[in-house]
A and B are shown apart, each in its own frame.
Chain A
Amino acid sequence: MSIETTSSAGVRQPVPTEGPRPFGPAAAVMLAAGAGVFVLGLLTTLAEASTGIKDGLQWNDRVGPLSGKTVIAACVFFCAWAVLAVAMRRSDPPWKPVVYATGALVALGLLMTFPTFFEAFAPE
């Protein structure tokens, strides 16, 4: 497999590519990123809504609940990436559902980290 470009002398020249690559490994890292961002947002909102959850996420007293939220979100990202990478290493899923699912997860995660949103769940 090659692509055709024009050399500096103006001659059309084929350039070899890496060969066909399945979309599975790319889908794995994208979905894992979506899951990581979504979990970060979810934990942020849950911690605001419940003092018990907030205290439970305080894994380090100096950092506060942010310690639990960020460690869990990063672990979800890397673990999901590892699991999905193994499961999808040879698969070639359609790219649209993967892109839309990643976009939705990231958008929801982003929304749930927005103070005006998560503060609406704070107990009176």
Chain B
Amino acid sequence: MELTSRETWTLIHGLILGSLFLLAFAGGLAGLYSFRAELVTPEGIRERLFRLRVGVTGMAVLAWATVITGTWVVYPWYRESLAGKTLEACKGLQAPNDKCSPKDFLLSNASGQTSNWHEFGMEWKEHIAWIAPMLATPAAFLVLYYGRNLVADRRLRMIVLVLFVGAFATAAIAGLFGALITKAAPVR
């Protein structure tokens, strides 16, 4: 059982950073939704606020780390042009190799109709993913800035929740396409 350097980075990007982000979202959503005066005791506010601050800040940091490693470390391996313009080197293959990158492999349709995975899936994923940290950061800032005031102000809580859910939704679309594209054409 061995992982190449590329597989390790893909794992760090998608499975570790990406999954932690999605996990932090679940905890943060539950914490935010129930952060109301009628649902929490004074002790509960103190304890929950600390967890909320750590959770949303962690979520924003994880979102930045995920898109930076995705774009600058993993994506170049995905998109390198190895098979030339005709994609001849991909013919007959069942998976990408050192002569046919994942992008070449998908565009060649060597193992079925796969070009849409790149032309729609990857094209959308590589852009929409960057929206997640830009929405997670304001959500984190609002929680840090307003703190206990969020308990009393439903309007502020709703703004944070919308930003929070928006960050999750964009990350989930990117993560879903990432997983499906990796299944069709893994980076090795």
Q: Which residues of A contact B (CB under 8 A)?
A: 3-8, 13, 15-18, 21, 25-26, 29-30, 32-33, 36-37, 40-41, 44, 60, 62-64, 66-67, 69-70, 73-74, 77, 95, 99, 106, 109-110, 113-116
State which size class the interface on B falls in.
35 or more
| Cα(A8)–Cα(B135), bound, Å | 35
With A29-B138, A64-B79, A113-B128 known, 6 other A-B pairs at CB within 8 A are A5-B38, A15-B45, A21-B149, A33-B138, A33-B163, A60-B72
With both chains docked as a complex, state the minimum distance between the C-beta of A36 and any C-beta of chain B, in angstroms. 5
A-B contact pairs, 12 of them (CB 8 A): A5-B37, A8-B41, A15-B45, A26-B142, A26-B145, A40-B127, A63-B75, A63-B76, A70-B71, A70-B130, A99-B159, A113-B127
Complex interface bits, B70-83 against A, C-beta within 8 A gives 1, otherwise 0: 01100110011000
User: Which residues 139-161 of B have a CB within 8 angstroms of A?
Assistant: 141-142, 145-149, 151-152, 155-156, 159
| Cα(A29)–Cα(B163), bound, Å | 11
Q: Shortest 5 CB-CB distances between A and B: which pairs? A: A62-B76, A113-B127, A3-B152, A29-B138, A115-B123
**Known contacts A33-B135, A40-B127, A63-B72; is A21 also within 8 Å of B37 by CB?**
no
Inter-chain contacts of A30 with B (CB < 8 A): 138, 159, 163
Interface of B is mostly: helix
Q: Is the CB of B166 within 8 A of A106?
A: yes
Inter-chain contacts of B67 with A (CB < 8 A): 70
Residue among A21, A25, A66, A109 with the most chain B CB within 10 A? A66
Inter-chain contacts of B120 with A (CB < 8 A): 115-116
Smallest Cβ-Cβ distance to B72: which chain A residue: A63
Inter-chain contacts of B147 with A (CB < 8 A): 17-18
| Cα(A86)–Cα(B67), bound, Å | 28
| Cα(A66)–Cα(B134), bound, Å | 16
With both chains docked as a complex, state the minimum distance between the C-beta of A68 and any C-beta of chain B, in angstroms. 11
Partner of B43, one of A8, A25, A36, A41: A8
Inter-chain contacts of B134 with A (CB < 8 A): 33, 36-37, 40, 73-74, 77
Inter-chain contacts of B145 with A (CB < 8 A): 21, 25-26
